[in-house]
């Protein structure tokens, strides 16, 4: 291995060791109970919540996939900005209610919250299955991104399989050891680091290659104007339809806060006000995405093309006269994007599989110590399955993400019904989830069955809502005012702190 690669790997290794130390140190503050490992003893403040939600969502798909889409599909990539701005809005309303019932009843996952409301272990099991099925490819996306970065910056001397194995071996270590607090501490560090680096690269590459951002877009307009015309291009290089673009935004926006690893953060916040402030501040995290598009557009007129569009950023860096120290920093930033999402996903998938699938769905009754041990073992299993997907998947990172959104968006109706509607039957919620999930899966496997060029998840969501409506007509179900009173902050045990709306949540003794 040459000196260039050694310097790059040394910088990346220093970053990885820093993350490992932060992750392991965080574990010292975690209680031995499952609630401590999964929900961080409900102690996360505003800064940690801001970065754990932001860095969790904007991952390898953003650092590699977003530049790849801007490079190959132009304005089509702007759908990421659109859904990122809109997607957290539902959390302002759902998050506080989930936090209140979580404190009151001891919930740490969204599936156990829904299953408790409708007294249905089957619901917990079905939601656990969908969650794990959606999270594993999403986690594989992060691993694949990390592996591609290591391969690129070492000029192919380290394979992507080896790179992703080493990086996620470290992630596995601190997630198993520290749980959600390890995720929170490392995500705060990673979020700040990758935001600074993204803007550094996003401004410097257009200046280096074109003389500035304005000059870059002028040259692209002259040579490739189709890239700047919304809604951009599809994967075949033809104009993308507005139906596909709009449905991608809608499905991603609705499914955004329904992601289990993101929604579960409602159970970790120190107060309702923290959740509300996080939801209000969250759109500012889109400032991280803007320079990533500039990076992708900078590659349009580059002298050579990458082997895969997702590698346009490392490809440019490796073919420019740039110090290996800067390339090492890029490598660390890309790994930060990957790891800040991957750790949360692995933790969430394992927690859901054990807490919802095994305990709620299958009726297992472990002790708190056993449950925590099983979740830790689940992290290892989830990491292993995701790594297997990484090795065999050859497609686009963003395409893989969009498919995952099609599955997870089916949770949205169930969450709103759980937290807002007094009379809903378990049959309505379950039938909506099943029909929506099956419809989405079939249309993903057979795109030709779609009557219009719309995201498969949108059809699934429509089928979901129709199934809920028909089941409700047949049976409205029993009324559950107690649960909704707790969710709304009414009653003696909801943690109300006066009429200011700042409902400080206290653990129910």
- pTM of the full structure: 0.76
CA dist 506 and 509 (Å) reads: 9
Domain ranges of the chain: 3-411
Q: How many residues does the chain have?
A: 509
Cα gap 150→148, rounded to integer Å = 6
**pLDDT tens per residue across span 267-303:** 888 788 888 888 888 888 888 889 999 999 999 999 8
Look at residue 495 and tell me whether its pLDDT is greater than 50: no
- pLDDT tens profile 140-189: 888 887 888 888 777 778 888 888 898 888 888 877 776 656 666 676 77
DSSP per-residue codes, 112-166: HHHHHHTT-HHHHHHHHHHHHHHHHHHHHHHHHHHHHHHHHHTTTSS-HHHHHHH
pLDDT in tens, 350-399: 888 998 888 888 888 888 888 888 888 988 999 999 999 888 877 665 66
CATH T-level fold of 3-411: Sodium/glucose cotransporter (1.20.1730)
Give CA–CA dist 289/252, Å, rounded. 16
**What's the pLDDT tens digit per position in 10-48?**
888 888 888 778 777 765 655 555 555 554 456 566 777
Q: Give the HSE-up count for residue 432: Cα atoms under 13 Å, Cβ half-sphere.
A: 26
């Amino acid at each position: 291995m040459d000196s260039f690669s050694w310097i790059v790997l040394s910088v990346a290794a220093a970053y990885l060791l820093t993350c490992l130390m932060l992750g392991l140190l965080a574990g010292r503050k975690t209680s031995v109970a499952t609630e401590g490992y999964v929900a961080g003893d409900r102690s996360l403040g505003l800064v940690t919540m801001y970065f754990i939600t932001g860095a969790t969502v904007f991952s390898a798909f953003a650092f590699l996939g977003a530049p790849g889409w801007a490079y190959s599909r132009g304005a089509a990539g702007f759908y990421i900005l659109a859904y990122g701005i809109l997607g957290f809005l539902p959390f302002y309303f759902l998050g506080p209610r989930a936090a209140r019932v979580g404190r009151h009843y001891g919930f740490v996952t969204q599936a156990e919250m829904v299953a408790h409301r409708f007294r249905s272990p089957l619901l917990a099991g079905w939601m656990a299955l969908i969650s794990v099925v959606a999270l594993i490819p999403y986690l594989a996306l992060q691993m694949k991104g990390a592996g591609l970065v290591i391969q690129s910056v070492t000029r192919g001397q380290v394979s992507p399989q080896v790179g992703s194995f080493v990086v996620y071996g470290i992630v596995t270590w601190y997630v198993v050891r520290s749980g959600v607090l390890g995720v929170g501490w490392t995500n705060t560090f990673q979020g700040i680091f990758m935001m600074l680096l993204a803007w550094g690269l996003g401004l410097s590459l257009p200046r280096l290659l074109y003389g500035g951002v304005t000059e870059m877009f002028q040259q692209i307009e002259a040579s490739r104007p189709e890239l700047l015309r919304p809604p951009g291009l599809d994967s075949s290089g033809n104009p993308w339809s507005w139906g596909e673009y709009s449905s991608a935004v809608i499905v991603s926006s609705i499914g955004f806060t329904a992601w289990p690893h993101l929604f579960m953060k409602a159970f970790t916040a120190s107060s309702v006000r923290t959740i509300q402030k996080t939801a209000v501040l969250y759109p500012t995290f889109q400032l991280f995405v803007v320079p990533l598009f500039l990076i992708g557009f900078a590659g349009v007129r580059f002298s050579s093309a990458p082997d895969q569009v997702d590698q346009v950023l490392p490809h440019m860096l490796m073919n420019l006269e740039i110090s290996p120290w800067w390339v090492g920093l890029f490598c660390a930033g890309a790994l930060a994007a990957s790891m800040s999402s991957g750790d949360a996903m692995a933790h969430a998938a394992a927690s859901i599989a054990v807490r919802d699938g095994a305990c709620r769905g299958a009726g297992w009754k472990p002790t708190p110590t056993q449950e925590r041990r099983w979740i830790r073992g689940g992290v290892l299993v989830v990491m292993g399955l995701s790594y297997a997907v990484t090795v065999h998947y050859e497609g686009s990172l963003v395409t893989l993400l969009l498919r995952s959104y099609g599955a997870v968006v089916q949770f949205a109706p169930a969450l709103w019904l759980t937290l807002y509607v007094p009379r809903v039957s378990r049959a309505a919620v379950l039938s909506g989830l099943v029909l929506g999930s099956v419809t989405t899966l079939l249309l993903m496997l057979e795109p030709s069955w779609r009557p219009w060029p719309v995201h498969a998840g949108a059809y699934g969501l429509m089928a979901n809502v129709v199934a809920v409506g028909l089941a409700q007509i047949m049976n409205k179900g029993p009324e559950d005012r107690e649960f909704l009173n707790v969710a709304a902050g009414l009653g003696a045990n909801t943690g109300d702190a006066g009429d200011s709306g700042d409902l400080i949540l206290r653990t129910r003794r």
